[in-house]
Amino acid sequence: MKLSKPIILLLLLLIHSCITPFVPEIERDKELMVVEGLITDQPRTNTIKLSKSLALWKSSSPTPLKGCTVWISDNLDNVDSLKEISRGTYVTDSLQFKGEIGRQYTLHIITAAAYGNLSYESDPIEMKPVPPLDVCYEKELFIQNHQTIEGCQFYLDTYDPTNSCKFYRWEYSETWEFHLPYDVPNRVCWISNNSDEILIKNTSVLNESRINRFPFYFISNPIDRLEVKYSILVNQYSLNEGEYLYWERLQNMKEQSGGLYDIMPATIPSNIHCLDNPLEKVLGYFSVSAMSSKRVFVKDFFSNPPANGMYNNCPFDTIYGDTIIGGNLGSFLWVIIEYPDTVPRIRILTNKRDCADCRVRGTDIEPDFWNDDQ
């Protein structure tokens, strides 16, 4: 039977009238406990951060929780108390506590009276072993602004012959040295950046726990990263399956468009629970991971346009002779080029501080590890 156009239009109107818009109920003002914490098998300070956040925490800043009682216990009845070093930040004593592979750890929290003296506890988490890793890099050409650029692609490899570690997470920190193109007092500096990506891998579906040439980072906009000297430190963590699923869901959430109906942090299960109110949602995860690290230095020459081009607009004014510059010198004006032997004397000024002082972008303190490659 063939329907006429008027009947089709009528059916569409009836169908549309039966659709009721769905508006989800969201507790916009509900405060949620936020826990960020990681303990490793390294002889270093471990940090736990506690805060309160609104359910729609993307639009609000968490409030640090001060005055809480925080401790960590293991399955051998050892207990280690954490000390609050700043509002909401609690740390272990690096001389007293270090995670041990094979042990199970539980985080305990009692909030201060101002927050209800509520008790929170994590699930017991076993510290899984982690194998060593290797990191390498290769040059890769790509086109940017009609120019051929040499980028730097980093790969990592790891293999656990015992097949004990099946879930991995990585994070990295990059450091590079850069020089200003002018002979100014603060000319040489270093910049360090920490990764903000979620890098995870699951080998449980494979015959062996082996990862080859995993491309975890690509420098596609070198600027001055690769001009003088560059180094990257990669940390590899062992995960249990529960924590892997936690990071995987966070990764999926990050890839969403960010709309109201996307996955929200409150929908991602935590391994921390409120003992006084089992129905209360808690954000975050108490991570227990063994860690291995690898640092590499990039020693190749990259034939890219010089980074000094970013300072082309530095010169602002030219002073001839012994003219005395007013009180703005060192505050709003800086000398970047000086010709003291010319007649008359010439000084070139800039009104951009980052052209005269590299500390605007970085630090003039050389990292302790900077000469480890020699």
Q: If the chain, 374 residues long, is cut into consecutive pieces of 10 residues, what is the mean pLDDT of each piece? A: 48 45 48 93 96 63 92 97 97 96 98 94 97 95 80 96 96 96 95 95 94 94 86 97 94 67 66 95 95 95 76 89 74 90 91 95 97 83
Which of 76-109 are b and which e, b meaning 16 or more Cβ less than 10 Å from the residue's Cβ? eeeebebebeeebbbbbeeeebbbeeebebbbbb
| Integer Cα distance of 75 and 288 in angstroms | 14
Backbone angles phi, psi at 366, to 5 degrees: -65, 130
| Integer Cα distance of 221 and 149 in angstroms | 8
Total residues found in the chain within this entry: 374
Which pLDDT score, from 0 to 100, does residue 321 have? 85
| Integer Cα distance of 194 and 174 in angstroms | 7
Which pLDDT score, from 0 to 100, does residue 54 have? 65
8 A C-beta contact, residue 11 and residue 36: no
Query: From the centroid of its chain, how far is CA 165?
Result: 23
Which pLDDT score, from 0 to 100, does residue 29 have? 52
Which pLDDT score, from 0 to 100, does residue 327 have? 67
Backbone angles phi, psi at 153, to 5 degrees: -100, 125
pTM score, two decimals? 0.84
Which pLDDT score, from 0 to 100, does residue 356 have? 96
